[in-house]
Amino acid sequence: MKRYLLSTLTLSLMAAFAGAAEPAATAAPATTAAPAAGTLASGISTQYVDPAVRAQDDMFVHTNGGWLKSTEIPAEKASWGSFAKLRDDVTPQIRSIIEALQKDDSQKAGSQARKVGDLYASYMDEARRDELGFKPLSAELAKIHGLRDKKALPAMFAHLTKIGVTAPYGVYVGQDARDSTRYAAHVYQNGLGLPDPDYYLKADDAKMADIKAKYEKHVAEILGMAGRKDAAAAAKAIVALETELAKVQWTKVEQRDPVKSYNKVSLAKLNSLTPGFDLKASMAATGISAKTDYVIVSEPSYLTGFSKVLAKTDLATWKSYLEWQLLNSYAGYLSKPFSDAHFAFFGTALTGVTEQEPVWKRGVGLVEGAMGEAVGKQYVEQYFPAERKARMEVLVKNLLEAFRQSIDTLDWMGPATKKEAQDKLAKFTPKIGYPNKWLDYSALTVARDDLVGNVMRSNTFDYNRNLNKLGKPIDRDEWGMTPQTVNAYYNPQLNEIVFPASILQPPFFDMNADDAANYGGIGAVIGHEISHGFDDQGSQFDGNGNLRDWWTAEDRTKFKAKTAMLVNQYGAYSPVDGYKVNGELTLGENIGDNSGVAIAYKAYKLSLKGKTAPVIDGLTGDQRFFMGFAQVWRIKMREAKQIQLVKTDPHSPGKFRANGTLMNQQGYYDAFGVKEGDKMYLPPKERVTIW
């Protein structure tokens, strides 16, 4: 149950929600106040500027060219850039916290600290994992092998979902989009082992076809390692089954429509969507039926299509499919041969990574996913100075004020819609640094010598905690990311913008830098998340988090005309030959980038209070602002990973997040004297300004 309607700054693995409340931690003691104005740095990594490339022709390369030339992607990474570097800087800090707990024998059995240490220790015990092989999955494999007819599948799908295994559909509990004051159960399409249906269906794409062929070989390899004598034949049948599921799935663009994805169905009528398959019984097995009388179905036509696939696929193939999904979900926690084979496909073949991360990093990743807030509480105490939060609060306040003023001056929006927009903005809830209350893991059982059991219990713990929200008041203190996550997000149903502690560091936010680069960095991040409340998806939710059309028809038409221009702009960009950015899939994030930097620029100008910004490192304040934005998107990526993200990621590639955004900003043209004939010049009528 780890699916949430969040608009994040960048694609990342988010730590799961888990547990009830503890008192908030005390932030790390303040260190030094912001330096006096005369001693502030520019905040720009001038050592990476490439003077051979003009800012007017390619701002991304001009700002980051030296870095692009000198930097190699680490062998264990699919990409490397500002986000990845900061994550890599934070990870050793998290490691030190975890390993200190692991070595502390004074922690009481069953305490949260002891659980963190024991969970990490269970992962680090490679000898025991190698000794056990795939035996820890024996009981679950026996359940699958024991299926006697298809009537048992609804309950089996529900059971596997609880322990974190992929099934043909998923369930989660989140706010009801039409009534944000209550939780509702949601059912959505699932079931594929590859990242997107295109990997199964684009037979004319050589790269997609190659991945599909390698995937089938990988499935056969894993099944063979688990003792299947007919592994090759079983793998062929499994991939054929997943291909049939892919054919009936909604595209990621279709899934972005919150109105079409909201389909309230009573449990009594649920089986009408799945002739021949008892989905109602499956909901009973999930525990949902005991707590509600309806569910929200995201893709109803998929469920109908799935039921047809189920009917024409024999039980033996379904059992093989479930066996594969179980092994695939837990391969990384089994013996080295399983872990290595899993990485060889999902790491190397799919994303181009040539080396696994060190075992300690993978162990840290497990703890982060299972008990992220337990670690986050100590991270905040040790590594998040109080003055960072205080200065960030000022920035957020200034960005909200700039957005408020901007709404009033829009020439394309009428008074009625402006009034609603201002009402929504006034109801925004900023969250900065860390939660007001922490999650409680007392119901989670961790054993130092039972890695697979720990993972299963953690998945079940998360599932039950999520399920138990049904019928309870909305928890407005809950966070969708841990404090140590280098990211940010907007949640339309809580109408909140959230900035975890870890992102409040250079190059996004530098306590020792002049405001210009900070407004271009974290300021644009703040503006980005605010703008998600008014992008093509977020604008369909009101200030109370309800899916409600608060626009006049005329204003919505004008808005769509502007966003259509963005779709066309970004749809022309190509990060890899033969693969273009999907302008519709990335529309919300592109609105966030363009509007975010525009609002941040306005806020920066307001912060000057009519004064002229100092020239630092030979750069004016406006130039530092836009270079601060460009350096945030510094990144290099392996081709295989880039292709995967073009298919699946709602964010545009970093270069286009920088250049594509700035080409629409009049302030950028003024700061660098961009004129007709320059490569980044767009005629005024082709520039998109929304907020």
For 482-528, write each residue's pLDDT tens digit.
999 999 999 999 999 999 999 999 999 999 999 999 999 999 999 99
Residue 393 included in any domain: yes
Number of domains in the chain: 2
Q: Is 288 found in the same domain as 415? A: no
- Exposed / middle / buried, residue 109 (Cβ in 10 Å: 0-12, 13-18, 19+): exposed
Q: Is 429 found in the same domain as 289? A: no
Q: Is 653 found in the same domain as 567? A: yes
Q: Band the pLDDT of 34: cuts 50, 70, 90.
A: very low
- Which tokens hold the place of 443? 């119901």
* DSSP conformation class of 193: S
What are the Cα distances from residue 658, in Å, to 41, 310, 630, 635? 22, 46, 5, 11
Q: Give the pLDDT mean for 649-673.
A: 98
Which one, of 40, 39, 48, lies nearest residue 516 by Cα?
40
* Residue that finishes a domain, picked among 316, 339, 355: 316
CA dist., res. 496 & res. 396, Å (int): 12
- Per residue in 161-210, pLDDT (tens digit) is 999 999 999 999 999 999 999 999 999 999 999 999 999 999 999 999 99
Strand partners, 23: 437
Instruction: Provide, rounded to the nearest whole percent, the portion of the chain with pLDDT above 70.
Output: 95
Residue 116 included in any domain: no
67's enclosing H/E stretch is helix 59-70
Q: Is 514 found in the same domain as 394? A: yes
* Residue that finishes a domain, picked among 316, 348, 379: 316
Residue 168 main-chain phi, psi, to 5 deg:
-65, -20
Q: Is 528 found in the same domain as 625? A: yes
Is the pLDDT at 606 greater than 90? The verdict is yes
The total of other beta-carbon atoms located within 10 Å of residue 255's CB is: 18
Instruction: Name every residue whose Cβ is closer than 8 Å to that of residue 284 and which is 6 or more positions away in sequence.
Output: 290
Residue 212 included in any domain: yes
393-415 per-residue burial string, b: 16 or more CB within 10 A, e: under 16: eebbebbbebbeebbeebeebee
- Per residue in 418-474, pLDDT (tens digit) is 999 999 999 999 999 999 999 999 999 999 999 999 999 999 999 999 999 999 999
Sort residue 634 into left (φ over 0), alpha (ψ -120 to 50) or beta. beta
- Per residue in 72-125, pLDDT (tens digit) is 999 999 999 999 999 999 999 999 999 999 999 898 999 999 999 999 999 999
- Which tokens hold the place of 639? 């081709």
Residue 535 included in any domain: yes
Residue 13 included in any domain: yes
Q: State residue 11's pLDDT score.
A: 61
* Residue that finishes a domain, picked among 287, 316, 345: 316
Q: State residue 105's pLDDT score.
A: 87
Q: Is 312 found in the same domain as 374? A: no
- Per residue in 135-161, pLDDT (tens digit) is 999 999 999 999 999 999 999 999 999
CA dist., res. 507 & res. 86, Å (int): 9
CA dist., res. 590 & res. 594, Å (int): 6
CA dist., res. 629 & res. 565, Å (int): 22
- Per residue in 385-408, pLDDT (tens digit) is 999 999 999 999 999 999 999 999
Instruction: Name every residue whose Cβ is closer than 8 Å to that of residue 407 and which is 6 or more positions away in sequence.
Output: 413, 418, 421, 422, 425, 691
Q: State residue 33's pLDDT score.
A: 38
- Which tokens hold the place of 560? 């769509």
CA–CA–CA angle 597, 598, 603 (5° rounding):
90
CA dist., res. 540 & res. 43, Å (int): 37
CB 690 within 8 A of CB 563: yes
Residue 117 included in any domain: no
Q: Is 253 found in the same domain as 159? A: yes
Is the pLDDT at 21 greater than 60? The verdict is no
CA dist., res. 62 & res. 42, Å (int): 16
CATH number at residue 193: 1.10.1380.10
Q: In terms of DSSP H, where are the helices of 410-482?
A: 415-426, 451-467
- Tell me what the pLDDT averaged over the chain comes to: 94
Q: Band the pLDDT of 302: cuts 50, 70, 90.
A: very high
Instruction: Name every residue whose Cβ is closer than 8 Å to that of residue 545 and which is 6 or more positions away in sequence.
Output: 175, 180, 492, 493, 494, 495
Q: Is 375 found in the same domain as 297? A: no
CB 306 within 8 A of CB 168: yes
CA dist., res. 674 & res. 667, Å (int): 10
- Per residue in 231-270, pLDDT (tens digit) is 999 999 999 999 999 999 999 999 999 999 999 999 999 9
Q: Is 458 found in the same domain as 399? A: yes
Is the pLDDT at 29 greater than 90? The verdict is no
* DSSP conformation class of 533: T
Q: Is 572 found in the same domain as 437? A: yes
Q: State residue 39's pLDDT score.
A: 74
Residue 553 included in any domain: yes
Is the pLDDT at 17 greater than 80? The verdict is no
- Domain of 420 in residue numbering reads as 7-31+45-93+363-686
Q: Is 462 found in the same domain as 541? A: yes
CB 150 within 8 A of CB 168: no
Residue 329 included in any domain: no
Is the pLDDT at 24 greater than 90? The verdict is no
CATH number at residue 544: 3.40.390.10
Q: Band the pLDDT of 14: cuts 50, 70, 90.
A: very low
CB 414 within 8 A of CB 555: yes
Q: Is 375 found in the same domain as 296? A: no
Q: State residue 2's pLDDT score.
A: 45
